[in-house]
Amino acid sequence: MDYILMHKRKKTARVSLDETEGYIREIYDVYAPEHIPVGAAGPEGTLDRAGLSRWWHRRAIPASRAGLREAFAIMDIDSPEYLLEKCWGLSLSDQYWMCPEGSSLTWDDVNFFEHDFSEDVGNILLGGTSPSRNISLMSPDNSSDGWLRKKWSLSGGKRVLIKGGSGVYRQEPYNEVLACRIMERLGIPHTAYSLLQQEGAVYSVCEDFITPDTDLITAADLLRNEKQPNHLSEAEFFIRICEGLGLENPRLFVDQMLTVDFIIANEDRHTNNFGVIRNAESLEYMGMAPIYDNGTSLWLNTRTDKIRPLSPKLPSKPFKPTHHEQIKLVSSFEWMELERLDGIEEECTAVLAGSEYIDEERRKVICGGIRERIGLLGELAGEI
């Protein structure tokens, strides 16, 4: 079927989309090349069918999402791409969508920022069962990324992202909160997460940091869009791209992100887990996205007796394979006042005390580990 790729109210391109298989068959016309999604065009800025098709595919729920097979069985659905078309590809993280050609739909009629939405799909994805009535497939969850079970929810007029935990210790929601406490004290701009207890399970909750006027553009898309020169490291390349877009002090952003990741031994800061915010109409780049998704950290899948908080081998992403190496990329610690973290161990202990899955011994090891890593950071920062 033919669609108009829309960026909010802007007609961007006319394409043929195979809704079920989820690929773009053909691009007929490009109306607004500057609005083509970042990362869909190749390094030279040229748009091709394959690039746009990959972008559409990445927009669907990843096949790796926990519990996806069971959720699809309940919904009687075969593919994430099929589900994506059911909400016209609309998202709560940017303003792109596919409007069926010839239809009179407008962004003002359908966007999830200004219109309430059913939580049927979200509840099923989160692991609940099917509602007794017909399931509404018009959901912003159809276009959400990431591995953990999650759903968008309406709460007091706000859009919030609710994420579960995984594995034996179900640590992710707590980790999100602990990372926030650390960033709050260090004055690092971040997405605020809180805990939600619901039907015996614990979730993290954060507000949407995107508005009807903005797009989240991930580092992955920015990096995909340009060819990395041989003489630049990936970190430096990312910083230069951001500077080129007129963003203010991306170097400080990277320094702060690598520092908090060092403290919490974050294992999963891949390039979809940070990014920048752009105005969806003027296309002006506005700032770095407040740091989000810090849950895969604090030894969440490591047995308590195997945790080695000071190990130089703790794995990291995205720029170096270990935190010991990655922290050396920080250009300046002048912004950092480590004494502001005095007492953080006790604060973290109190937060973790709420978890049914984390016993006292594990609590001690994790919170002691945070303290030890802050000490190590102080030593390394003195040397760097």
Q: Does residue 292 bind ligand ATP (CB under 6 A)?
A: yes
* Least distance (Å) between residue 218 CB and ligand ATP: 6
Q: Does residue 144 bind ligand ATP (CB under 6 A)?
A: yes
Q: Does residue 210 bind ligand ATP (CB under 6 A)?
A: yes
CA proximity to 263, closest of 177, 327, 204: 327
E-strand ranges in 1-126 read 2-7, 10-18, 23-30, 96-100
Residue with Cβ nearer Mg ion (89 or 275): 275
CA proximity to 151, closest of 172, 175, 126, 118: 126
CA pair distance 172, 323, nearest whole angstrom: 19
Residues 6+ positions from 200 with CB-CB distance below 8 Å: none
Identify what 292 binds: Mg ion, ligand ATP, none; CB under 5 to 8 Å per kind: ligand ATP
DSSP 8-state secondary structure symbol assigned to residue 297: -
Region near ligand ATP per CB under 6 A, out of 24-32, 247-255, 288-296, 345-353 = 288-296
CA 352 to chain centroid, in Å, comes to 23
CA pair distance 30, 279, nearest whole angstrom: 21
Query: For residue 171, which amino acid is it?
Result: Q
* Contact between residue 39 and residue 48 where contact means Cβ atoms under 8 Å apart: no
Q: Find the helix packing angle between 234-244 and 250-264, rounded to 10°.
A: 140
Site string for Mg ion, 121-160 (x = CB under 5 A): -------------------------x--------------
Binding test (CB under 6 A) with ligand ATP, winner from 95, 296, 297, 326: 296
Residues 6+ positions from 73 with CB-CB distance below 8 Å: none
Q: Does residue 61 bind ligand ATP (CB under 6 A)?
A: no
CA proximity to 255, closest of 324, 356, 329, 317: 329
Q: β-strand 96-100 against 193-198: which pairing, if any? A: unpaired
Q: By three-state DSSP, how is residue 322 classified?
A: strand
CA pair distance 93, 363, nearest whole angstrom: 34
* Least distance (Å) between residue 147 CB and Mg ion: 7
Identify what 122 binds: ligand ATP, Mg ion, none; CB under 5 to 8 Å per kind: none
Sign of CA dihedral 358, 342, 204, 351: positive
Q: Does residue 273 bind ligand ATP (CB under 6 A)?
A: yes
* Contact between residue 280 and residue 225 where contact means Cβ atoms under 8 Å apart: no
Q: By three-state DSSP, how is residue 378 classified?
A: helix
* Least distance (Å) between residue 115 CB and Mg ion: 26
Q: Does residue 52 bind ligand ATP (CB under 6 A)?
A: no
Q: Measured at CB, which residue is nearest to ligand ATP? A: 146
Residue with Cβ nearer ligand ATP (7 or 371): 7
Q: Does residue 147 bind ligand ATP (CB under 6 A)?
A: yes
* Least distance (Å) between residue 291 CB and Mg ion: 12
End-to-end CA distance of the chain: 57
Identify what 208 binds: Mg ion, ligand ATP, none; CB under 5 to 8 Å per kind: ligand ATP
Q: Does residue 273 bind Mg ion (CB under 5 A)?
A: yes
Q: Does residue 209 bind ligand ATP (CB under 6 A)?
A: yes
- For tokens 């017909």, name the residue: 134
* Least distance (Å) between residue 119 CB and Mg ion: 21
* Least distance (Å) between residue 150 CB and ligand ATP: 6
* Least distance (Å) between residue 279 CB and Mg ion: 23
> Between residue 325 and residue 344, which ones bind ligand ATP under the rule CB under 6 A?
none
Q: Does residue 162 bind ligand ATP (CB under 6 A)?
A: no
Binding test (CB under 6 A) with ligand ATP, winner from 208, 261, 267, 345: 208
Binding test (CB under 6 A) with ligand ATP, winner from 5, 13, 90, 148: 148
Interface ranges with Mg ion (CB under 5 A): 146, 273, 293
Residues of this chain that interact with ligand ATP (CB under 6 A) are 93, 144-148, 150, 161, 163, 191, 206, 208-210, 216, 268, 272-273, 292-293, 295-296
